[in-house]
Amino acid sequence: MHNVSRTTHEEVGKSLEHIVVGARRVTIEEVLAVAERGAEVQLADQAAFRERIERGADYLRTCLASGATVYGVNTGYGDACEVSVPPALVSALPLQLTRYHGCGMGEYLDPDATLAVMVARLNSLAHGYSGVRWELLDKLMQLINQRVLPRIPAEGSVGASGDLTPLSYVAAALIGEREVSHRGQLRAAREVLAELGIAPLVLAPKEGLALMNGTAVMTGLACLAWRRADYLTRLACRLTALTTVALNGRAAHFDARLFEAKPHIGQGEAAAWIRADLSGRLDSSAQRVQDRYSVRCAPHVIGVARDALSWIRRDIENELNSANDNPLIDPDDECVLHGGNFYGGHIAFAMDALKVAVANLADLMDRQLALLVDDKFNHGLPRNLSGSIGERAAINHGFKAVQISASAWTAEALKLTMPASVFSRSTESHNQDKVSMGTIAARDCLRVLTLTEQVAAAHTLATVQAVTLRLRDSAIPQPPVALTEFMEMSATHSAFVDEDRALEFDLRGTAAWIRAGVAPLYTDLASARDQAGKL
């Protein structure tokens, strides 16, 4: 049932033209539909939803009129929570918060990441616990749909109180300050808003804090990371099957009975996909009795990531569908709740775990690649997978340098698995004395994913080259249909290497193809069984 649900999520996400925010849960795939595939956002067309948003803003105004103390509304921020703000300055306070947090550094988030962040923030505010007006939700929706993208620096968040500094750039775009990207051009926010007929938002009390004091940056990045990691697990299965063919390895290592005896769901899933790719392949007594661990134990390595993805999805989507600022304004019970929902611990731990699982995929593929290029272990393939024949074979070195580079990328990915979540630092006058570092964990995870995609690109070219060489030089059957089709698709990015050439742009093109996740791979056990039945 879990696998069927996962597939349904993916198929629905790919077909969406818009997603509905408000009065419902939003999935990772819906965030990605906006961030990666051009879908728009619609606020739920339900009277009760809009009425709840408006009641929250009304109740906050009532609190202020009664003289109640509400953190960040008529008090200072953070350690200054005991500082009372004079009534005449309450309306000016949100703008101060937005401006003094404009101190982000580092590279800027790309358009996909920026959109994912904006959708995550909108969905959290739409829960109706933030005391914001409908006008704010509507304007944030307009910025998303018009692709008015705040220029958000990636660095500067400790992950509690939420993503204050990076989210200040979202708030700034809404009020017409700083710079935004629109239609590929970097321009002043106020100029773009005027051109589109969108009046800059005048922040009401708490609205600056509501926009900024949440986990939307780490959560948006986590959505992107989840999709890329999910695809890499399936690609690693496909490449393991190709490696098995190239090395003349044993399909029996993926026998279903082995994985029924050790019933981890993800491990069995990975083995079933590899088994489907090798369907019809017959082992012989001439083969090595047992293949080396990087081939034989591939489902056990990939399966860890597959199983982790299930609970990581749960935690990402719970965070995505939460009210994660402070204080919360409860319009039903008419109370103000001062708490710590901005703490990004679940995303931090999930991203730390995911980057470990993904880096292990890089290591697995790097080890398989090392076997393929080494003529002491590749069972008769040319040294370094060189396709050159005749006299010039002596001066050709094939995939020698590619394997060296893949090892460098793998080493860097493994180095980055140090968990960010254990590096809490006491900040802001020891008010924020325990913080999540969730955004750093998410950024690290994305970097590990990029490095692993580069390793996967190298391994893709090498496995296709190796199988082509095996077919050329040995009397082996044509690989099963799924593998043959994958090899043909890969060849559109990199032709057979018969004479040494620079492969940088072959690798870049293949890595981009992998990151886009467009090559058809198995998505559940049923699809693997269907493929196996055709062979």
Our answer to whether residue 343 is catalytic in this structure is no
Q: How far, in Å, are 8, 37, 41, 127 from residue 16 at the CA level?
A: 12, 9, 10, 22
266: left (phi > 0), else alpha (psi -120 to 50), else beta?
alpha
Tell me what pLDDT residue 475 has: 76
Catalytic, out of 71, 77, 100, 293: 71
3-class secondary-structure state, position 1: coil
Question: Per the omega criterion (within 30 degrees of 0), is the bond before 424 cis?
Answer: no
Q: What is the 3-state secondary structure (H, E, C) of 289-334?
A: CCCCHHHHCHHHHHHHHHHHHHHHHHHHHHHHCCCCCCCEEECCCC
Tell me how far apart the alpha carbons of residues 480 and 141 are, in angstroms, rounded to a whole number: 47
Tell me how far apart the alpha carbons of residues 248 and 371 are, in angstroms, rounded to a whole number: 12
3-class secondary-structure state, position 366: helix
Q: What one-letter code names the amino acid at 35? A: A
Tell me what pLDDT residue 411 has: 98
Q: What is the pLDDT along the chain (535 residues), one digit of tens a residue?
A: 233 334 445 665 667 899 999 999 999 999 999 999 999 999 999 999 999 999 999 999 999 999 999 999 999 999 999 999 999 999 999 999 999 999 999 999 999 999 999 999 999 999 999 999 999 999 999 999 999 999 999 999 999 989 999 999 999 999 999 999 999 999 999 999 999 999 999 999 999 999 999 999 999 999 999 999 999 999 999 999 999 999 999 999 999 999 999 999 999 999 999 999 999 888 877 788 999 999 999 999 999 999 999 999 999 999 999 999 999 999 999 999 999 999 999 999 999 999 999 999 999 999 999 999 999 999 999 999 999 999 999 999 999 999 999 999 999 999 999 999 999 999 998 988 999 999 999 999 999 999 999 999 999 999 999 999 999 988 788 899 999 999 999 999 999 999 999 999 999 999 999 999 988 888 776 666 565 544 3
SS3 content of the chain, % helix, strand, coil (to 5): 60, 5, 35
Read off φ and ψ for residue 19, nearest 5 degrees.
Answer: -120, 150
Tell me what pLDDT residue 4 has: 33
Burial class (CB in 10 A: 0-12, 13-18, 19+), 145: middle
Tell me what pLDDT residue 532 has: 54
Q: What is the 3-state secondary structure (H, E, C) of 37-48?
A: HCCEEEECCCHH
3-class secondary-structure state, position 346: helix
**What are residue 432's DSSP bridge partners?**
427
pTM score over 0.85: yes
Tell me how far apart the alpha carbons of residues 265 and 192 are, in angstroms, rounded to a whole number: 50
Bridge-based pairing of strands 40-43 and 18-21 is parallel
10: left (phi > 0), else alpha (psi -120 to 50), else beta?
alpha
Locate all alpha helices (DSSP H) within 331-480, ordered by sequence: 345-373, 400-415, 438-473
CB 369 within 8 A of CB 403: yes
